[in-house]
Amino acid sequence: MGTFLGYFGDQTIPEDKREEFTQRVLMILDQGGMLDLEDVSLFGKRVWLLKPPQALPGKDAVLFCYNYFEQDTWETGGYDPTSCSFHTNKVGWRQFNLVCSAVYVLYEFYTPSFGIASEDAHVYDAQEIIGWLNYLFQSRYDNRRASNPWRVYQLLPDYRRDDDPLVQLADGSPMDPMGMLIYLTVTRKANQEALWESTESASGAPHNILDCISRAERALAELTAGDEEPDLKKLEQLTAALKNRDMERLPEGAPQCFAVMAVMIPVEITAKLLADAFAQDFWALLEELRSFGWDGGDGWNFGDLPPAEPVAPVGTAAFLRCSDDDRAWWWRPDGDVHFSEEMNAWLAQCRAALDNLAREEPPMRGAELLELLVGTLDRIQRRTPSVFAFREMFYDFASHSESAMVQAAVRYLEQLAEQEDAAVSLRRYLAVLGNLPLRERVFGF
């Protein structure tokens, strides 16, 4: 059991868009807190370090298994820049899920053909995700994915055909009248009144399309009224006439039915009416009729949908259900991470403590610093399994073990680790130590 993500449709990215798409995928993973873990064994202890996702030697895929904001590990996922392919396994239901879902939704805006992201093979409302994409990339993506339920329904696997995209994607956006009509007719999810409402005043044609559907349905009912079993010869004659636009092929009593279906009704609705009348498989009949390249629905002018409004941007902290204080490792001088007054005051207290330790404590020699660091991280991870140091900090400290401020930083880490309920402080302190530009700014080394 578990939650799995996916995509209905072709995920192939055109060559001219692959570089930009890859940059955006990597930015989603980075800003979303996706990281990988690396183990280090020293002094008889094994500690884990956080590192940015990267390709393994000899491999193309960029791998990740941990989300910093969820503070949890899931089955490894990855992105292959050479093929623009993204894969995930179990993703849970929190931040790991959200970030991976954002990558799948991004495909919707880059593939030439229509596709849609899914969770456990269900489609879902992605407005918040699209809003985050607009925030990250200063883009103007809209939620047009939800405007045509028939286009979505066709992509669903057979075992999800009971799903209702109108409910799952509902957002109040203008709907495509023809897509709505075909969906409601094919799925029989609405009564006649609802169908009328879906097309009311949508077309300037002299006859309402529902009149045409009703006429065709009545004609088929009359054609099959005396048949105890479906007369497949009549169906064969009728479909042959439709395919070839040849009235002479029609069974007796079918001219009106043919005229309406051939000229006035979308091929999907024609296939549905025929499938119901003759107890045939709708999808097989639709594929057969579509192959002849005609569509009576082309004659209707429903006009263009109103321009879709871009989804309002959603900031990273809001999207990830965290605060900027939790995003210290992502702080950049010109970035969007802005600490609270409480965080700034706490950082000032940390700086004062570091300065005092650097002045007062005797220097450590040889491997003493590294042994203290590994021992402290080991104790932290045994006590609080979700707290990790960043790899960049670890190896930077190992390279500058003689620095008084580095030694003070490790001693202060040891003091924090001894406090009760220190998980939040430890995570933020380690994030600052791992962000070298921020560490320089607030701690001075």
324-352 residue pLDDT tens: 999 999 999 999 999 999 999 999 999 99
CA dist 395 and 370 (Å) reads 10
Residue closest to 354 by CA, chosen among 438, 410, 419, 425 = 410
| Contact present, 51 and 391 (Cβ < 8 Å) | yes
Q: What's the pLDDT score for residue 210?
A: 82
Residue 7, phi then psi, degrees to nearest 5: -150, 130
CA dihedral of residues 237, 240, 245, 250 (deg, nearest 10): 0
CA dist 34 and 65 (Å) reads 7
Q: Which residues of the chain have pLDDT under 50?
A: 201-206
Q: What's the pLDDT score for residue 205?
A: 45
Residue closest to 33 by CA, chosen among 318, 329, 314 = 329
C-alpha dihedral sign at 285, 298, 257, 246: negative
CA dist 226 and 141 (Å) reads 54
Question: Can you tell me which residue has the tokens 């006649």?
Answer: 192
pTM of the model: 0.90
Measured between alpha carbons, how far apart are the two ends of the chain, in Å? 48
Q: What's the pLDDT score for residue 137?
A: 98
What distances in angstroms separate CA 161 from CA 120, 287, 407, one per listed residue?
13, 17, 62
Residue 99 CA, chain-centre distance (Å), reads 7
Q: Which residues are paired to 62 by β-bridges? A: 55, 79
Residue closest to 96 by CA, chosen among 1, 3, 174 = 3
Residue 187 CA, chain-centre distance (Å), reads 26
